[in-house]
Amino acid sequence: MPGLEDLYREIILDHYRNPRNRGELDAPPAHRVEGFNPLCGDEIIVYLDVDSDRIADIRIAGQGCSISQSSASMMSSAVKGRTTEEARAVTRAFKAMMSIHESSLDGEPDGLVGGADGSGGGDGDVKLGDLEALRGVVKFPVRIKCATLSWNTLAQGLDEATEPV
Amino acid sequence: MKLDVARIRKDFPILEQTVADRRLVYLDSASSSQKPRVVLDAMTDYYETTHANVHRGVYGLAVEATERYEGARDRVARFIGAPSSRGIVFTKNVTEAINLVAHAWGRTNLGPGDAVLLSEIEHHANLVPWLMLAEERGVELRYLPMADDYSLDLSDLDRLVDGVKLVAVTAMSNVLGTLTPVRRLADAAHAAGALCLVDGAQYVPHLPTDVTELGCDFLGFTAHKLCGPTGIGVLWAREELLEAMPPFLGGGEMIRDVRLDGFTPNEIPWRFEAGTMPIAEAIGLGAALDYLDGLGMEAVREHEVSLTGYALRHLTERFGDELTIHGPAEPSARGGVLSLALRDVHPHDVSQVLDQDGVCVRAGHHCAKPLMRRLGVGATARASLYVYNDTDDVDALADSLGSASDFFAL
Ligand SMILES: Cc1ncc(COP(=O)(O)O)c(C=O)c1O
């Protein structure tokens, strides 16, 4: 049986205790997107300020377990200041890391997991950095949803923010 | 008579398992209980010796299968003190039992301007069917609030019950353990000219149940929480109510006659049992009730009051302000359901640490989101007790909570 240290790496606990980019942005002009994990009641709210294709600012609100909160915190650091295309590439790479079990768990129809096969193009070069610490989550299949909640919410936010008007 | 837990544990094959060389500590019976061997054997024996479809053949096996299935119905009637088996309808679970009432009784008797009184502490199973009805035909829903001591606040009952057609409440909260004053609510409903439905999912498995004493008109419960199999539940209703209700699902078995231009429904209770029913499961439920009556429901209740008291004392002494237990402080006012909040450690993380020690609790909103909002939490870690639990299980829970507290120390 995998041990707790496989799941709760030090860097994860650090992001949980000291979440980055916590707070809210005025929406509008920012985009506000909510994500729910109906299984456990975790809720996440992502605020995105997208300025000509770049994520100028991002804030995270809501509540959840250490895995969902730390994943959201790391996500916000990873995509802040990046272009929406870059943010999508990181999202695909992260979801690929998590998708090993997720697709077989419930076949989530969000179309993002598709990027896992490399069809996103060049995602193999994406450096996940600190996010690698979340790799241990796949050994705890019920917690994968916690780790991907903020990313699914971000993906939805990016789609809304970049929709042609 | 006291329960002999060491002996009882031997009746449950799953409890022989060990996790990390320690005995499995199963504290999630409020979600679903484990099954004693006699229940499993009853179902296997039925399949090996007696299976045929019921009510459909004149050959020996079919007759015997029908007798066993109908025998289970009689068994259920005896267990809940129902005047006759004609009031016992088999369903898939209590959720279906409540939906049956909302559909067959609700759609006949409720329309715009009619009101139903529920409570704030209900399981989604006793909320969503009524919310659907409210959306569909403008039925007004009212709610009895929860008081700060986790009981139902009845101070405004007279006003709330005035003009309603149905009072539908749980007899025991699956989150707080709170026992609700069913008799008083049923009497208030009747005085107001309304009926009373009781969600007995958490009550019937743990306390002696007598529908006449409860005074309600409908009672639903589910077999898998009382040592029985999944896939079968019960709706009991006063016979004259069932008589007046149209069918719920349509198909075979629920009809007396079918023509190309119409049908005549069957008598009660079969009118509400469309299609081939979970026969083996009904027989398993009968065996579960035999098992519980063998232990004695008074003894089951006594055991749980005493073990809950031990848990409340022990956990409070050990963790003090670090641990919040959302529920009544007095064991006699509640069942053995302990919704725990350990400081600000998220329930998911708590239950993850507990899982490492083989301690099974449920983390989440327990299908009671409005109650979670009222408590101001997103989730709790819930430990729940049953006949096979003892003080060793509570001690293991406490030790494991201690580890979780250390692990997530800031
Ligand atoms: C109070 C209460 N009502 C209803 C239910 C639903 O039971 P089932 O899923 O068997 O229909 C439960 C259990 O989950 C419960 O605790």
Mean pLDDT by 10 residues, chain B (410 residues): 94 92 95 98 97 88 94 98 97 98 97 97 98 96 97 97 98 98 98 98 98 98 98 98 96 88 93 96 98 98 98 97 96 97 92 93 91 91 98 97 88
Q: Tell me whether residues A143 and B348 touch, CB distance under 8 A.
A: yes
The alpha carbon of residue B158 is apart from the nearest alpha carbon of chain A, in Å, by 34
* CA of residue B27 to ligand 1 center, whole Å: 16
Calpha distance A116→A99 (Å, rounded) = 7
Which pLDDT does position A100 carry in this prediction?
Answer: 64
- Supply the pTM of this predicted model: 0.90
Q: Identify the weakest region by mean pLDDT among A66-75, A132-141, B234-243, B327-336.
A: A132-141
Q: How many CB atoms lie within 10 A of CB B77?
A: 19
Domains annotated for chain A, with CATH where assigned, are: 4-161 (3.90.1010.10)
Mutate to test the interface with A, among B22, B349, B407 (most CBs of A within 10 A): B349
Gap from B379 CA to chain A (nearest CA, Å): 6
Chain A residues in contact with B378 (beta carbon < 8 A) = 40-43, 63-64
- Ligand 1: which residue has its CA nearest to atom 16? B174
Question: In this complex, do B363 and A66 lie within 8 Å of one another by their Cβ atoms?
Answer: no
Predicted local confidence at residue A96, as pLDDT: 86
B353 interaction partners in chain A (CB closer than 8 Å): 4
Q: Looking at the complex, does the CB of residue A61 fall below 8 Å from at least one CB of chain B?
A: no
Query: B279-295 and B60-79 helices cross at what angle (nearest 10)?
Result: 40
| CB-CB under 8 Å, A41 with B364 | yes
Residue A98 pLDDT: 87
- For residue A115 the two structure tokens come to 């990027």
Residue A49 has pLDDT above 60, yes or no: yes
Contact by Cβ (8 Å): B348, A40: yes
Ligand 1: nearest atom to the Cα of B233: 10
Which one of A41, A69, A140 has the shortest CB-CB distance to B365?
Answer: A41
Distances (CA, A) of A62 to A32, A68, A69, B374: 12, 10, 9, 17
A120/B contact by beta carbon, under 8 A: no
Query: Which two tokens mark B337?
Result: 């359901």
pLDDT at A38 over 80: no
Q: What is the chain A residue with the closest CA to B410?
A: A17
Determine what percent of chain B is predicted with pLDDT higher than 70.
Answer: 100
State how far the alpha carbon of A140 is from the alpha carbons of A3, A137, B355, in Å: 10, 5, 11
Ligand 1, pocket residues at CB < 6 Å: B 93-95, 123, 125, 170, 174, 199, 201-202, 222, 367
Domains of chain B in start order, with CATH, are: 5-30+297-409 (3.90.1150.10), 40-294 (3.40.640.10)
Q: Is B156 helix (H, G, I), strand (E, B) or coil?
A: coil
Which residues of B are marked as active site?
A: 367
Residue A47 Cα to ligand 1 middle (Å): 37
Whose tokens are 């009550």? That residue is B203
Burial profile B350-388: b = 16 or more Cβ within 10 angstroms, e = fewer:
bbbbbbbbbbbbbbbbbbbebbbeebebbbbbbbbbbbb
Alpha-carbon A71 to chain mean position: 6
Measured in angstroms, the CA of B363 and the nearest CA of chain A are apart by: 7
ipTM (interface predicted TM): 0.76
Task: Print burial letters for A85-120: b (CB count within 10 Å at least 16), e (below 16).
Answer: ebbbbbbbbbbbbbbeebeeeeebeeebbebbeeeb
Please say if the pLDDT value at position A108 is more than 50: no
Which atom in ligand 1 lies closest to the alpha carbon of residue B174?
16
Q: Which pLDDT does position A125 carry in this prediction?
A: 66
